[in-house]
Structure 1
Amino acid sequence: RHIHQRYDFQVRNQGLAQAEGNPIIALQINLDKNFAFLEFRSVDETTQALALDGINFMGQSLKIRRPRDYVPLPGLQDNPSVVVPGVVSTVVSDSPHKMFVGGLPNYLHEDQVKELLLSFGPLRAFNLVKDTASGLSKGYAFAEYLDPSITDAACAGLNGMPLGDKKLVVQRAAIGSKAQQLAASLIPSNVPGLQTAGMEAGPPTEVLVLMNMVTPEELEDEEEYEDILDDVREECGRYGTVRSLEIPRGVKGVEVAGVGKIFVEFASVEDCQKALEALTGRKFNNRVVVTSYYDPDKYHRREF
C-alpha cells in the first residue's frame, strides 16, 4: 500500500497523469525477488511513468522497466515525452555522449560513484553494472551528462585518477563495443601513462594518501592548518590506530613535494584498508575524496 501511494503521488505530482483520479489500478508485489508490477488505466500514462526510472525510494534508485513480454502498440509513442527534474535514469542509452567508467573498486556503491561524476555536472543517466547473482559491483559503470558538452571535460578530469588500489578508466563508450569496454575495466593499474607521479599501485599498505581534500591555499593559515590536522586525525581514528600523520604545506621560495595530499600511517594494513573503503568517495569541503595506498618506505623518507 505504501509503494502504491508513493508511486501514485509521484505520477500525479510530476504532471504525468492525464486525468483526475488514481492512474494506477492494480499492484502486485513479489517480496521474494524484490520487484512489483504496476498496472495503469491507460497506455499513455504507463509510458509517461517510465520518466520516473531512477527515482529515489527509501534510499534506493528504483529501476522501472516494461515487462519482458511487452509489445508496443503500432503508432503509439514508446518513450516518455517528459523529463522529471532531479531524477537520474538507470538506463544509459547508446549515444555519442555515453560514457564508460571502469577500474572502480568493487566496494564502492552507486552514490559514491555518482558523486565523482556529479562533481562535473548533473547526470541524465547512470548505471553501475552489478553481478545479477550476488548484487555486487562488477567494477564498471555507464553514464551520460544532462549537458553533453561536459563529457570531454569529465573524461579528461577523471581518466587515470587513482582510486583505492586502481586507476579509473573514463572515456566515451564506443557504441556496440562491449568487449572493448569490459577489457578496459581490467586494465592493470601500472599501465604506462595512467600512473600518477608519487603514487604506488599494488597491494594494500599501512599508509593511506588522501587527495582532493585540501588546497595549498587552505594550508597557509596556521589555525586552519591545525584544524585540518585535528579533523583528519579524528576521522581516520574511527577506523583504526593512527600512528602518524603528514600534511605537506608550501614554504615561500621552496618547492615542497606532496602539497595538496594528506598522508596517514596506520598501525596495521587492516586499519588502513578499513579507512580507505570508508573514506573513498566521501566529501570534504564539498570535494570528493580520492584515496590510494602509499609506499611506507617512501613515506618514512618523506618522498611525497
Structure 2
Amino acid sequence: MYLCTAVIFAHRLYIGNIPFGITEDLMINFFNDKMQESRLCSAPGYPVLAVQINMDKNFAFVEFRSVEETTNAMAFDGIMLQGQALKIRRPKDYAPIPGLTDSGVKHIPGVVSTVVPDGPHKVFCGGLPTYLSDDQVKELLCSFGDLKSFNLVKDSGTTFSKGYCFFEYVIEGITDAAIQGLNGMQLGDKKLIVQRASVGASKVITGEGADMSMFMPSIPNVPLPINIPGLQVAGTAQEATEVLCLMNMVSKEELEDDEEYEGIMEDVREECSRYGEVVSVEIPRPVGGVDIPGVGKIFVEFGSADQCSKAHSALAGRKFANRVVVTWCAMLCLACLV
C-alpha cells in the first residue's frame, strides 16, 4: 500500500504562482512542449497525463507518465509562463521510491530556479532596498553572469521583500568576481552586503553587516554575512576613479533599436554633464551570436575622480524608464570593454 501511494506522488508535481485564469489544456500543452524542446522526455509522445488547477489558491498539480520525466520536469522551476515565474515542487506527501535512484534535477539554460540549494557557491546578498522587485534584483545580479537559481526572501504575511536574497550563478567560476563587484555597492541610501552564504568559517558580522541583525532573527537558520579567509572583497568605500558604471538602466531590446540607443546615449551624456566634464560614454550593444562584454551596462568617463564621485552619489537610486539606477565607481568596469 505504501509503495503504491509513493509511486502515485512520484508522478505528480505541485505548480505554484500560476497565471490567473489559465486553463488545464494550456498548461498541458506548455509542459509537453517544454519537455520535448529540452529533450527531457524518456520516450516518444507526450509526457503529461493530466493537470488539476485550484483557481482559488492559484496552484496546480501536473501528473506525468513516468517517474523519470517527473523528476526531469523539476528543472523548469522558475520558468516564465504568461509573465509568472512558476514554482515547481514535489507534493508534500512525496517520498522517494525504495530502490529507485534519483537522477537529480537538470539545469535548463535560461531558466532561473526559485530554490537555491545549500552549497559552496550559494551567495547571500543583504542590504537590498525593499522596494526592488524580483526582476530588478535579478537584473542587477545578472550583470555579472547568468543565474542558475535565485530567491528574494519575502515576508509571508505581506509578500514584501525583507531586503535580502540568495542566489547562485550558472558558471561557478564567476562567483568570487561577482561578490567583489557587488559587495559595498551603493543602492539609493543602502550598501549591499554580499558574501558566500555558507563556508567553513566563523560567522562574524562586520561594518554595515551589523544592520542585518534587525531582521535575521525572524528567519530560522538564515546564514549571517561572514568573513571569508583569503577572499578580497570590496569594502564599503570604493576606490577613486574617473569611470562610472550605470546598471539596471537599459534592456537588450532598447539597445538593439538604433533610435532608442541614440536617445539613451544623449540622455546619459546630458544628465551626467551636470556633475562634471563627460569625456566619453560607452554603451555596449548586443550582437547576434557573439558574446559582447559589458552589455547591459553604461560606462561614463569623467574628467576627474571627484566629478565621478559626485555623479555616483547623485544618480544612485534614481529612476530611469521605471528602473532603479544602480551606480558603481570602479576602473574594473573598463575591463569589460577590453
Give the TM-score normalised by structure 1.
Answer: 0.67
1:128 matched to which residue of 2?
152
1:63 aligns with 2:87: yes
> Does the Cα contact within 8 Å between 1:155 and 1:170 map onto a contact in 2?
yes
1:278 aligns with 2:314: no
> Does the Cα contact within 8 Å between 1:159 and 1:171 map onto a contact in 2?
yes
Q: How does 1:188-207 map to 2 (within 5 A)?
A: 194-196=236-238
Letter in 2 for 1:249: V
1:290 aligns with 2:327: yes
* Structure 2 unaligned blocks of 5 or more: 1-24, 214-234, 248-261, 280-302, 329-338
Superposed CA RMSD: 3.9
Letter in 1 for 2:323: L
Cα displacement (A) at 1:124: 1.6
Aligned residues: 243
The CA distance in 1 between the partners of 2:116 and 2:264, in whole Å, is 39
> Does the Cα contact within 8 Å between 2:188 and 2:317 map onto a contact in 1?
no
> Does the Cα contact within 8 Å between 2:76 and 2:108 map onto a contact in 1?
yes
Letter in 2 for 1:90: T
> Does the Cα contact within 8 Å between 1:248 and 1:259 map onto a contact in 2?
no
Cα displacement (A) at 1:142: 0.6
Aligned residues with identical type, % of pairs: 49
Cα displacement (A) at 1:73: 0.6
Q: How does 1:138-217 map to 2 (within 5 A)?
A: 138-174=162-198, 184=209, 186-187=211-212, 194-196=236-238, 212-213=245-246
1:104 aligns with 2:128: yes
1:239 matched to which residue of 2?
none
Q: How does 1:237-248 map to 2 (within 5 A)?
A: 245-248=274-277
Of 6, 26, 30, 1:6 maps to 30
> Does the Cα contact within 8 Å between 2:136 and 2:323 map onto a contact in 1?
no
Distance 1:27 1:176, change over 3 A: farther
* Structure 1 unaligned blocks of 5 or more: 199-210, 215-225, 237-243, 267-271, 282-288, 292-304
2:299 matched to which residue of 1?
none
